[in-house]
Chain A
Amino acid sequence: MSEEKVQGCVGSAAGPVGQRLVTGVEQVSEAREEMKMHAMVGKEAPDFEASAFHEGGFSNIKLSDYRGKWVFLCFYPGDFTFV
């Protein structure tokens, strides 16, 4: 499920998958198109990779790793907030 590797002070994760570094004019419009991709009911969930804390360790997690399972994805404003 998750990729184990040496985790330093700064972990990098790909974030939304499909977005590329913009190096040329053509790619600017392509990147903008991709940024428009929003999650919608009935549509495929945008894939992403994120660094995570789980079971006492750090790892990178990709949404598509869970294909074949139901996923309950919860965003929230921040750790230590009140609600």
Chain B
Amino acid sequence: MSAVADKAAEFNKLGVQVLSCSTDSRFVHKIWQEQELSKMVDGGFPFPMLSDAGGKIGAVYGVYDEGAGVDVRGRFIIDPDGIVQAIEMLTPPVGRKVAESIRQLQAFQHVRKTKGAEVCPAGWEPGSPTLKVGPELAGKVWEVWKPTE
């Protein structure tokens, strides 16, 4: 979560509301914030830290591990209409790359801005070309985009 906190300014700039969620109580969240997160990142974790005691929310999101009694690493990008646009799930020993999440957010925001007229090909970064969806593009993607670019 400190890696997410470290990118707080970028999330804020994109108008994205970050929420973290684990099975810990809000009291534990408070102490974690005070004792550790605030020492890792200036200001600590500046977003709401949610408590999913009992894992009911995690169960509905498909991330609750009943045996361990914890929510595994699951990350959901939800658009302004409340639709899930992206999911990433990892087992506990490997952490996320937050920059990739931000790239995906920027890509989904771009697609939304164009009302779906433009789509973002593999590896898209802000500023790189998008694809204009339409029948004329069928079979001709190779003319405008290559995976090595």
- A38/B60 in contact, CB under 8 A: yes
Interchain CB contact (< 8 A) of A76 among B51, B71, B77: B71
* Chain A neighbourhood of B58, CB < 8 A: 75
What interface size band does chain A fall in? 35 or more
Main secondary structure of the interface of B (DSSP, over half): mixed
Shortest A71–chain B CB gap in Å is 4
CB of B61 within 8 Å of the partner chain: yes
What interface size band does chain B fall in? 35 or more
Where the two chains meet, the residues of B that have a C-beta atom closer than 8 Å to any C-beta of A are: 1, 4, 11, 14-24, 26-33, 36, 46-52, 54, 56-63, 68, 70-87, 92-96, 101, 105, 108-109
Where the two chains meet, the residues of A that have a C-beta atom closer than 8 Å to any C-beta of B are: 2, 11, 13, 15-16, 19, 35, 37-48, 50-56, 58-59, 61, 63-64, 66-81, 83
